[in-house]
């Protein structure tokens, strides 16, 4: 059950049990990123504004974890980076990313314009497609294997809560992402709010139904300066989730294990599937 008592859409399984290599990249892209949807229009100015005020320079090493077929988190880091590692686990998404980054489709221009409208850092880049091709490096890997303290800047969009039905794995993924950054490094992450799972190209994927309180608990001890924005629209309440959350912050200056609330360290399955999730 989700936090609001709604039944989950998929049997809760762990990350290793999901059919990631059957992830239908083009179907996911078409549903979520063929056009600039309302919720991304809300997220992008906040994301761009956060990075723009960090005094980042232009030669950072960044990571986007679990990019799937979403290029805009990586695009949001372009002005500040000499390299952006796109760490993906699914072989279909890796192949899609390698193709797409070579020559990205016209529809990404709307996402870039939204970034450029939000901060001069983006407007100063003449050809984001060429720059992305130069700095992006698609790598096969798992969030659970990320090394501590490696990256200067990071994004993780709809990953920790959308790659597993297990609360302990969601917690581990969140902390592994944040701790893969250097102390003080800024990050932006998004979470589906109270997701009941989702369907991509006929295959079902689980989710952990997280709330604002859950996300704040997960980040306690590993991150500071947290700002959490609810990203909502009345049009989405029938689609298997209640909205999205954008979280920005910086990695804490500590290597100690984060404290967790009871419930996040236990292994629990979150429910059953009963209808199709229309989006991420
Ligand atoms: C819900 S999709 C989110 C995709 C994209 N970031 C977005 O904003 O739409 C989850 C992504 O996490 C990837 N993933 C699944 N397991 C992973 C793992 N263990 N490590 C890293 N990425 C993983 C999936 O292949 C998929 O691309």
Nearest Cα residue to atom 3 of ligand 1? 158
Alpha-carbon distance values, 216 to 175, 204, 224, 229 (Å): 12, 27, 10, 12
**Mean local confidence (pLDDT), 201-211:** 96
Across 129-136, average pLDDT: 98
pLDDT score, position 268: 40
Of the ranges 177-181, 223-227, 255-259, which one carries the lowest mean pLDDT score?
A: 255-259
77 falls within a domain:
yes
Q: Which atom of ligand 1 is nearest to the CA of 67?
A: 6
Q: Is 220 inside a domain boundary?
A: yes
Q: Tens of pLDDT along 73-93?
A: 999 999 999 999 999 999 999
How many whole angstroms separate alpha carbon 213 and alpha carbon 233? 20
Q: Is 72 in the pocket of ligand 1 (CB under 6 A)?
A: no
**Beta carbon of 65 within 6 Å of any ligand 1 atom:** yes
**Nearest protein CA to atom 17 of ligand 1, as residue:** 89
Residue 10 lies inside a defined structural domain of this protein: no
Residue 263 lies in a domain: no
Which pLDDT value is given to residue 272? 33
Residue 199 inside a domain? The answer is: yes
- Measured CA distances, 129 to 58, 101, 125, 181 (Å): 17, 8, 10, 26
Please state the domain count of the chain.
1
End-to-end CA distance of the chain: 19
**Domain span at residue 125?**
15-251
Determine how many CB atoms are found less than 10 A away from the CB of residue 210. 25
Is the distance from the beta carbon of residue 241 to the nearest atom of ligand 1 less than 6 Å? no
CB within 8 A of 71, min separation 6: which ones?
33, 100, 101, 104, 108, 111, 132
Rounded Cα distance, 171 and 161, in Å: 8
pLDDT of 257 > 70? The answer is no
Beta bridge partners of 65: 87, 156
Measure 199 CA to ligand 1 centroid, in angstroms: 13
At 254, is the pLDDT very low, low, confident or very high (cuts 50, 70, 90)? confident
Q: What is the pLDDT of residue 12?
A: 73
CB of 144 shorter than 6 A to ligand 1: yes
Residue 150, domain CATH = 3.40.50.150
Does some domain include residue 33? Answer: yes
Instruction: Indicate if the pLDDT at residue 232 is higher than 70.
Output: yes
Q: How far is the centre of ligand 1, averaged over its atoms, from the C-alpha of 160 (Å)?
A: 8
In a domain, 279, yes or no: no
Q: Is it the case that residue 269 has pLDDT exceeding 90? A: no
DSSP track, 93-119: HHHHHHHHHHS--TTHHHHHHHHHHH-
Give the pLDDT of residue 9. 64
Helices 25-33 and 91-102, axial angle in degrees (round to 10): 60
Q: Are 72 and 41 in contact (CB under 8 A)?
A: no
The total number of residues written for the chain in this structure = 280
Q: What is the pLDDT of residue 240?
A: 83
């Amino acid at each position: 059950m989700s936090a609001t008592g709604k039944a989950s859409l998929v049997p809760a399984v762990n990350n290793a049990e999901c059919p990631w290599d059957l992830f239908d990249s083009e179907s996911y892209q078409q549903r979520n990123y063929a056009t600039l949807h309302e919720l991304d229009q809300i997220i992008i100015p906040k994301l761009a504004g956060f990075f723009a005020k960090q005094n980042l320079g232009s030669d950072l090493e960044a990571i986007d974890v679990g990019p799937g077929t979403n290029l805009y988190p990586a695009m949001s880091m372009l002005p500040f980076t000499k390299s952006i590692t796109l760490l993906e686990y699914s072989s279909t998404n890796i192949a899609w990313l390698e193709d797409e980054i070579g020559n990205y489709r016209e529809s990404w221009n709307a996402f870039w314009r939204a970034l450029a409208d939000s901060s001069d850092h983006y407007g100063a880049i003449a050809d984001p497609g060429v720059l992305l091709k130069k700095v992006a490096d698609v790598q096969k890997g798992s969030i659970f294997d990320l090394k501590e303290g490696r990256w200067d800047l990071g994004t993780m969009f709809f990953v920790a809560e959308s790659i597993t039905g297990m609360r302990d794995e969601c917690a581990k993924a969140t902390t592994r992402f944040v701790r893969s950054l250097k102390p003080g490094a800024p990050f932006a992450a998004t979470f589906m709010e109270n997701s009941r799972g989702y369907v991509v190209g006929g295959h079902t994927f689980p989710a952990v139904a997280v709330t604002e309180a859950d996300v704040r608990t997960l980040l306690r001890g590993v991150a500071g300066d947290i700002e959490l924005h609810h990203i909502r629209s009345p049009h989405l309440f029938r689609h298997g989730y209640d909205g999205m959350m954008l979280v920005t912050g910086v990695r804490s200056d500590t290597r100690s294990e984060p404290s967790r609330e009871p419930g996040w360290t236990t292994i629990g399955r979150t429910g059953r599937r009963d209808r199709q999730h229309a989006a991420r």
